[in-house]
Structure formats: structure tokens, C-alpha cells
Structure 1
């Protein structure tokens, strides 16, 4: 697997598709650039979902989050973009 930022989100088959259970991830190191000032902007993201047929692969998610580091985004916009990509 790559060790470079990537917009590719990978999944794997849910090992228990017949059971509802919650997957929670805390991502304390989210960074992007403020689109107005160009300064680093920091946030903590929390992802919580009930898996259906697939689960998000954690390493791919980390590389995906890393891909925003050098891009300018308002947190409100990037939050919704990440949600769209995950859905």
C-alpha cells in the first residue's frame, strides 16, 4: 500500500453483514490550509457509522485524510466533501 496521500478510499467486505454494530474512528491530526490566509488549519475528525456491506479500510482513510494537508478548504466545506466521498 502507498505511503503517499491519496484520494482513493478503499473498502473491504463487512465480516458481519447480518449484525448492526457501530464503527468509530477518531482522527486527531486533520490539517488543511485556510483558503483565506494560506495558514495551516487544524481539526479533529470523528467518523462514526454502521457498516452495511462494506467497511472503510483504515490505512486508506488515513492517506485520504492526509491528501487535504496542502489544499485550501473551509472546515464546513471539507466536512461535507468527506461525507459525500464516504457515502
Structure 2
């Protein structure tokens, strides 16, 4: 049995914890956060997926608060979502939380 639309969309709109922020005090610098303990569940096989997530961004008025970011990433642990979709969802949520000058995941 192959992949289907349900597999492809799994987890994309799942509720996840908010990523908190704090006021940025400086301008014109880059932040890199490497998270080696990312895990999720493959929506097709139900097997665990492991990976490293690297977030790079230039803050504008707010910076990501690391404890809430860790709790946010931890929430993926029991979520059925493809890694490729998770990367895009993480980027979307990072941008929504801190409105950076730019960001990559």
C-alpha cells in the first residue's frame, strides 16, 4: 500500500504549544539553534522518526524563548507527521511567534 493524501496531510494542522518570545535588545545579528533530539511518528508506518532541526533567524523585535521552543519541539514526539512537513510547520510557527527579519529551518 502506497502513500495517500491522509498520510501527506497528517499533523500539518495539529495543535501545538505556543513558542514564547522575549524582547530583543540588539539589531543585525543571527541566532542559530540546533535541536538534535527531534522525534516524531511516521504517519504511514507508525515508526519513530529521528532528526536534527536547525533554526536560523535574524530577530526583529522578539527572540524565541528556548524553554518554550524545547517544549514545542517535544510536542512532535507523539505526532504523526512527515519530517518534510514538520520542517515547514516549524518555520511557519517560528515566523508567527517572533516575526523575524528572516528565518530558515
* TM-score, scaled to structure 2: 0.74
SS of the residue corresponding to residue 77 of structure 2 reads coil
Corresponding residue for residue 9 of structure 1: 19
What do the CA deviations read for 1:10-59 (whole angstroms, capped 9, x no partner)? 0000011xx20000111000000011110110000101100100000000
Provide the rounded CA distance (Å) in 2 between the counterparts of 1:45 and 1:82: 9
Provide the rounded CA distance (Å) in 2 between the counterparts of 1:47 and 1:83: 8
Q: Which of 44, 47, 57 is the equivalent residue of 2:52?
A: 44
RMSD across aligned positions (CA): 0.9
Structure with the larger helix share = 2
Provide the rounded CA distance (Å) in 1 between the counterparts of 2:18 and 2:73: 10
Corresponding residue for residue 65 of structure 1: 73
Provide the rounded CA distance (Å) in 1 between the counterparts of 2:18 and 2:92: 13
Q: How many residues align?
A: 80
- Structure 1 gap ranges (5+): 1-5
* TM-score, scaled to structure 1: 0.88
In the TM superposition, residue 8 of structure 1 has moved relative to its aligned partner by 1.3
User: Hey, which bits of structure 1, 4+ residues long, moved more than 6 A?
Assistant: none
